[in-house]
Chains A and B, each alone.
Chain A
């Protein structure tokens, strides 16, 4: 049975750096890293699930590029309402220092070609590498239309007209209203919705949902897809440029000094 619509949502497990971290060479030691679902992707998952809830028969498939550890992140998406998931991983990917945009677009593109979704939702950017390019590059790879930095999507138009009517969040509080033909990739901005927390029932159900794991070979690609022309040659903590005057002491002393400044600047009347 063909579903009314299929939505693919790309999710990424991102590394979060702990305070006091150390850099060794061009890497941060694993002991200073924890892992979480990319903030932007959390909104993309929610948007996909809301589409599924608004439609009669909408299938939501989550796809990630990540090691076995990232299944925890994928399960989080499944617990929120995605129907099943695809995880791409390969030794050749593990060996790559930096996955460039083209690599991600090719890997995800192969999944798009197999799954044939009507709509792909992808976070605008990732907390860790901050590239902000995967969604648009993926659209280009598979010949879909696209829109970047979407902060509103008209669900009804997607389901009934096959058109994505979106708002793109431009700088300075201005929004662009744009219609995009499907199939399309939308890159989702934070704030587009209120991401839910997974319910206990959702978490339980997620345990039995399917996660298929594909290697580069399974996707019909060769290992050179993971090759990159980008090299990270240095990694360092940015030098603090602070020349602030700091207020020391306990909170009451700090507050007293701050209050003096506010009075001095005449922004607070006594």
Chain B
């Protein structure tokens, strides 16, 4: 039996989740009494294998094919690894690239697929996967009685593996069939930069879905004005086109770590928290006392932003706009 993890990399660097996968994989391997193998597909595989060779990794397989992620190549290579190396648990990242190939591998090898695990357990031969539903309002345990599974894990839920390993590194010939590669990656682009770099700000006032209407932005703009803060936001505000992309904090936006992050009407979905949890001081204003943003906040106000923000503006000598 083997636990098998597949690393994630982009433009020459292994992504953090690759090292978290090693920890999650090692824990599962210990619980199930198996070995942990890691695979790295495409890119500078020798250098990647070297970096992945951390404590607890028994073997590393490299598939030397192409430079960047291509889902057709990954799906073929991972399927071939699973079919040839006696894999029981295939653990991959729930990253944008993981979303792009893991379901296909599960389908090809005819294993169940469970995504976005935040915890994994192995009890009496049953794999127990903890995952969230209904926008993080509920956690569930999904049990898989017997047989193998493909599972993807959420980033930043496990610590990165550390220490030097003594894994055996070998090359795996995945025998990629080029005729079946129906997608071509033609390049990469950074999202619009714009005039403001929110990642440099000391004080961010960040607005979320709670603002409700575009017209109401005037209220936080006044607060930003009187406090000399920089305005940022969570995803829905940018999706609605109310603020430009360069203001978005989160997994798909910017990573920020200001002295103070004031989250107004932001529930604190995991994708948002991933972009701001390293802020020195986090303050949250939200009507929902159960909003996950309070889990990471240092200070909290359970209240309506339309009551609190005007008062805050007055605290700093401003006049709240009529909205």
> Which A residues fall within an 8 A CB radius of B?
15-17, 19, 21, 23, 26, 28, 98, 100-102, 105, 124, 127-134, 136-137, 139-141, 145-149, 167-181, 184, 187, 190-191, 194, 228-238, 240-242, 244-247, 251-252, 254-256, 258-259, 261-262, 265-269
Asked if A137 and B106 make an inter-chain contact with CB atoms under 8 angstroms apart, the answer reads: yes
CB <8 Å contact, A251 and B307: yes
Question: Nearest CB to that of A171 among chain B residues?
Answer: B251
* B183 lies within 8 A of A136 (CB): no
CB < 8 Å neighbour of B132 from A132, A238, A240, A258: A238
Q: Is the CB of B239 within 8 A of A242?
A: no
For B288, the chain A residues whose CB sits under 8 A away are 19
Instruction: Give the residues from 195 to 241 in chain B that come closer than 8 angstroms, CB to CB, to chain A.
Output: 202-203, 227-229, 235-236, 238-241
Instruction: Report the 6 A-B pairs with minimum CB-CB distance, sorted nearest first.
Output: A255-B311, A191-B239, A267-B203, A251-B307, A259-B315, A145-B182
Q: How far does the alpha carbon of A146 sit from the alpha carbon of B182 in the complex, in Å?
A: 8
Q: Are A233 and B187 in contact (CB under 8 A)?
A: no
Contact between chains at B308 and A140 (CB < 8 Å): no
In this complex, how many residues of chain B approach chain A with their Cβ under 8 Å: the count is 99
In the complex, the answer to whether B228 meets A174 with C-beta atoms within 8 Å is no
List the count of A-B residue pairs having beta carbons below 8 Å apart: 271
Asked if B103 is an interface residue, CB under 8 A from chain A, the answer is yes
Cross-chain contact B241 with A194 (CB below 8 angstroms): yes
How far is B110's CA from A100's CA once the two chains are assembled, in angstroms? Answer: 12
Instruction: Report which of A100, A129, A147, A269 forms a contact with B133, defined as CB distance below 8 A.
Output: A129
**B75 — which chain A residues lie within 8 A by C-beta?**
140
Shortest Cβ gap from B265 to chain A (Å):
14
B100 touches A149 (CB 8 A): yes
Q: Which stretch, B49-57, B81-89, B165-173, B253-261, touches the partner chain A? A: B253-261
Q: Chain A: interface secondary structure? A: mixed
Task: State the CA gap A134–B103 with chains docked (Å).
Answer: 8
Complex Cα–Cα for A246 and B110 (A): 50
Q: A129-B133, A132-B94 are in contact. Are A233 and B142 (CB under 8 A)?
A: yes
Q: Is the CB of A259 within 8 A of B316?
A: yes
Contact between B228 and A237, CB atoms less than 8 A apart: no
Specify the chain A residue showing the minimal Cβ separation from B306: A251
User: Which of B113, B235, B253 gathers most chain A CB within 10 Å?
Assistant: B113
- Residue on A with the closest CB to B298? A244
Given A251-B311, A258-B301, verify A178-B245 contact (CB < 8 Å): no
Interface contacts beyond A131-B116, A231-B142: sample of 12 additional A-B pairs, CB < 8 Å, sorted by A: A98-B142, A102-B112, A105-B107, A136-B99, A145-B182, A176-B69, A176-B187, A178-B184, A231-B143, A261-B299, A265-B280, A268-B228
- Contact partners of A245 in chain B: CB under 8 A: 298-300
In the assembled complex, which residues on chain A have CB atoms less than 8 Å from the CB atom of B94? 132
CB distance from B112 to the nearest CB of A (A): 5
Interface pairs (22), CB distance under 8 Å: A102-B110, A128-B134, A132-B99, A133-B99, A136-B102, A137-B107, A137-B113, A140-B103, A141-B107, A148-B71, A169-B96, A171-B15, A174-B11, A181-B182, A191-B235, A194-B241, A229-B144, A235-B133, A255-B312, A258-B299, A258-B312, A259-B315
Flag whether B302 is at the interface (Cβ < 8 A). yes
> Which of chain B's residues have a CB closer than 8 A to the CB of A167?
189
CB pair B189–A175 under 8 Å, yes or no, is yes
- Contact yes or no, A179 B142, CB < 8 A: no
Residues on A with beta carbons closer than 8 Å to the beta carbon of B290: 19, 237, 240
- A240 with B294, Cβ < 8 A, contacts A178-B186, A233-B143 known: yes
Given A191-B235, A229-B147, A230-B112, residue A172 in contact with residue B312 (CB < 8 A): no
Asked if A173 contacts B96 (CB within 8 A), the reply is no
